[in-house]
Each structure stands twice: as structure tokens, then as C-alpha cells.
A and B are shown apart, each in its own frame.
Chain A
Amino acid sequence: MAFNRKDLLGIRELSVEEITTILDTATSFKEINERPIKKVPTLRGKTVINFFFESSTRTRTSFEIAAKRLSADSINISASTSSVTKGETLADTARNLQAMAPDAIVIRHPSPGVPYQLARLIDASIINGGDGAHEHPTQALLDAFTIREQKGRISGLRVAIIGDIRHSRVARSNTHLLTKLGAQVRIAGPRPLIPPDYESIVEDSSDALLVCNRIEAAIEGADVVMMLRIQRERMSEAFFPSLKEYSIQYGLTLKRLELAAKDAIVMHPGPMNRGVEISSDVADGNRSLILEQVHNGVAVRMAILFLLIGAEGE
């Protein structure tokens, strides 16, 4: 099917067909990344701005490589503070970006909703590279791509997502995406790190999304175990007593992983706190797909850029 959106803002708005289109397109782009010469002329003459208000080596580099492999001109802009602390409004920011006449803008911002606000003000395609604790759609898409590649399907899988759900845009986007595609998502973590009414954020709440009291209940029989980073910078807010207790109660160890399905895979969007949410023998073990996620991220982002700004007349 055609992908007719101007922007990619969140998973929640996407249909199953649109998600499938992105994943299928990424499959064809992954082959380019295996070639000796990893470059095609598809987006020649197009300009992509990576506008990051938060530091992110992984996502920014992935988008930059994706753009370059499609022959687009890629420019990185970083800002250490939000517009308000610079005395500028979002409208000013939008006007400045517009003046550079880009075709696509990848934006990461600590405030939820900024990509949505900018998309209303800017003609270029806006790609949400992560907005606060709201959504991180490209991460969820590359996670789904990786799962589908390994398992051959997503429907019917049991996926445990464990950790700091409250502050995680990855958890939200993955919850939307995986439940839309028919997986069962199980959430676990310290209760203060589970946002209120989390069970109700998906449309079909029958048993598509479960919030578990204990990590063991989430992992039991899971086909995918996705660990999230504990955000040490938030430790002062007393969400849980200590890192030591967290690692004992919620860390993924080889012993806990035995509760999962025999062929379960382990994922983590990175960066990891080794020894806190995940032990090194799990992170580096043969079930870990953590580096494969990074690898697939380029193909998925190539697909997104292509579908948004390169598919005219296709």
C-alpha cells in the first residue's frame, strides 16, 4: 500500500498496513547495507536535518547513515536547551528551520509533543526521533523489524518489557506497535515507574497488554524480553530504594531468563547499565539481539526517509 503521510510522529496514529509497509520496505533496504558499496541515488538532492535537543549518538548517527546511503544531504544541528530557555518560541524555531528549505527534519526533544507542534508549522516532513516520555516510533519499528526477522512473525508472540516504563518513550511506542500487530505485551517494573492507567493505553485492552507485579510473571514463557535503561539521573526522585535493590528485584539474569521460552530473544534499546537492568552474560549471550537492533535501525530509517520524501511517483 502507499504511505501517504507527510510526517512520522508516533506509532499510535499508524495503521497495521502502514506499519507493515514500513517493515517490508526496510527489508529491501537492508540488502543495500550488505553491499560493498552501500549507497544508492534514491534521495539525491534531498536535504535531511537532524535536529537534536538531547544528546543521542545512536539515533542521530543511524539517521545520518540512512540519509547518506540514500544520497541525501544530511545536516546535524544540536541544541543543548529548549527553545524557551533560549528566549525563542517554537514558532521561531519552526520559521528558522523552514528557511533552510529541508525536505525532512528528524527531531528529538525532551518535551512530549514538540514534533506534533512543529509538524503543524513546517512544510517539511517531520520525523519524531524521540519526544520526552511520549513516543520513539523509529525505535519501535526497528525493534519490530528485528523481532519479525528472527521469529518470522509478531502476531501471537509474548513480549515482556521491563524497567522504567514511566519515563520510556520506547515502551510506549513498542506497546502500541506490538499490540497492533497482535502480540501480547507484558509490562513489569517498580510500581512508581509504571505510569497510571498504563493498561488502558491500547485500544484492545482484553489481554493484549498486561501489567505484572513481578518480573518473573512478565518473563514466564515470553518469546521476547525487552529490557529498558534505568535512568540514573532520576534516582533522586525516590522511585525505588537503590540500584542494588533494583538489580536484585528487576535485573535480567541468566537464571531469570530460564523462565522465558526456550528460544526467547533478548533486546535492549541502549545504552545499557550492565549489572543493573541486565547482566553482562545476558547482554553478550547468544540470545541477545542488541547489536542486531542497531544494525537494523539503519535499514528502517532508510525506509522511513524513502516513504516520506522519496516515493513520489512510485
Chain B
Amino acid sequence: MQPIASGLFTKDDPPRLIGGRDRATGRIVFPCPPGDGFEAVPLSRTGTLWSYTIQRFRPKSPPYAGPEAFTPWALGYVELPGETIVEARLTDVEFGAIEIGMPLELTQVPLDPDAAESVAIPAFRPEGASA
């Protein structure tokens, strides 16, 4: 699967997210903004769930580029300790089992699970869950 955009993941196996460190303040953000003000840094693959919700309706297109057929999905903010809190899909977990503070690890999910060739977006799953 090709990532939804370039510059989001490192080439490592498994990949890591690429954040940006503000050269002036040290503040880390995701994704890494263009320009000279930020230095690209690989982010921690693991973190804990900071908050979450379930998207229960299909977002408007544009800008949403996901499938026409809609299945609710979970998203969360994942705290990567000492770095930043990133927004991403949550996968491999029942909606009812999602809890703030749960340990998570980075993975990828297809934007359109039914498409033969979908782009990949960042996601987190419970630590130790199988792919």
C-alpha cells in the first residue's frame, strides 16, 4: 500500500511517523511542516490513548476521499511520550473496548478497505495485537 501522502512515514520496517521539530523552540508537531523552520524527526511507534471518538457519519466529500459506502470508524489522539499527541485512526479494537490511557502501537490501515489498491493512512492498534 502506498501512503496517502509522502513524508508521513519513515522507510523503516516497521515504519515510524515523521514529525517536525521546531528548530527555534524544540516543539514537536505532526506532520512535519514544509520549510526550513522544522527538522524532520522519527516519532515513537508506541504511545497511550489521550482521547478518542467514533465517526458515525460519512464526512462530506470533498474533502473526504474514503469509500462511498460508510462504516463507522474510531479515531483518537495518541500521546507519544515527550514528543507530541497525534491524531490517527484506531484499529483492531472493538469500539466498546477503547479506553483512555490504553497502550497503542503504530500501524497502517487502507483508507478504502474494499478497494484493490487503496492508499494507507496512519493508525494505532492495541500494543501486541496481531496485524
Is A bound to B? no
